[in-house]
Structure 1
Amino acid sequence: AIYIVPQHIWADIADPLTFENPEPVGSGPFTFGHWRKNESWLFNRNVNHFHAPHVDVLVAIIPTPEVWIGMLENQELDANGTYVRGDSQIETLEAMEHLELVITPSVGVQSVFIDTRVLPGSDLAFRRAVHHLIPKASILDVVAGLGGGSTADGNFVHPTSDFFNPDTMSYPYDPEAARAILAEAGYTWDDEGQLHYPVGYDVGG
């Protein structure tokens, strides 16, 4: 989708991809204050808005959880909404009496992608085999240490979504199935267990 933009500003822009739009047009409850690369955005309250906010908002770019947790503890931040890494961070935040900790479900998807432009990623059999070799449940236990989350299996849509189709093909963790798929596709293994391409594959690219 493409946003509707004001023609009188954008029509004569030679290279829209590099145009920084120093005076953006908007109608929301905030006006643009500043943008400092890799540092922060500032949104000033729009006093002319029909439901004007009472405060300005500074959005800081914070590189690691350790930093923003420390800033929350020192009351340098008013709020932070992000993922946390396991129970230990939850316990740290819960111990801060000046904070209210709110945990909400997420329909976000954490993904690993294969480059399908070149071998072996361009080979469907190889991709299917790799899918059977990923221990999704074990990864979930480590990553989603809060007791939530679910494996997407063969479906990119989150299981709680109305658009989720449980009848799509699934790829359970099954090393033997992966080996059978590769063997059927012509892959072989040497005495050291290293996988080799099928005969005749052009892997030069």
Structure 2
Amino acid sequence: MIGPLNANHLTFLAQGALWTVVLSVVAFLGGGLLGFMIALGRVSSSRVLRRALAVYVQLVQGTPLLVIMFVTYFGLPAIGLKVSPLMAAGASLTIYVGAYLGEIWRGCIESVPRPQWEAAECLALSRTQRMFKVILPQAVRIATPPTVGFMVQIIKNTSLASVVGFVELARSGQIINNSIFEPFAIYLVIAGIYFALCYPISLWSRKLERRVSFAPKRTVAVS
């Protein structure tokens, strides 16, 4: 008789959750670096660079992450590049996250009020100095809430890494279910773990959004 969900199974799920966190961090750091370069390129003075990056972003955003993972894991070995499941999942998520964060951050850079750009030009600063000393510090403030909010999507999208054999939280649950056939209990626990990972980030994102809101504060007239 097949036994119920036990402590060993929960330990295995906890290990899968740890790998989910590791993969999420890899995706965020790698995708963040790529996204930062994309955002800067998308607002550069080079029309060729802007268009090339726009094509890249549209291509990635128009392609399912699942397909990107298949191409990375099965396509690279076809040209002689052997990759592990972790490398394939990390590279795929980096490509995916980079495109989305690049667009988020581009929009935040361009949303900095135009008088700020003009004031920086009046100070006779170079384009690089204007960007890093005047524009980016303000754009970071605007970009923080949506960036934190997107971290939730990164965590949830790591579940797709199971298709290339990477054992994260969802894959751990699948392996356990194949042995004890208790899908309701297993996936209920998995859902709870994902919720525990994502909900605090969602709360943080909403808190940051209220904190950096540019809406004017109401004033109360005193008679």
Q: Do the two structures share a fold, i.e. TM-score over 0.5?
A: no
**TM-score using structure 1 length:** 0.26
Q: Which has the higher helix share?
A: 2
**TM-score using structure 2 length:** 0.24
Q: Which has the higher strand share?
A: 1
Larger Rg: 1
Higher RCO (Cα < 8 Å, 6 or more apart): 2
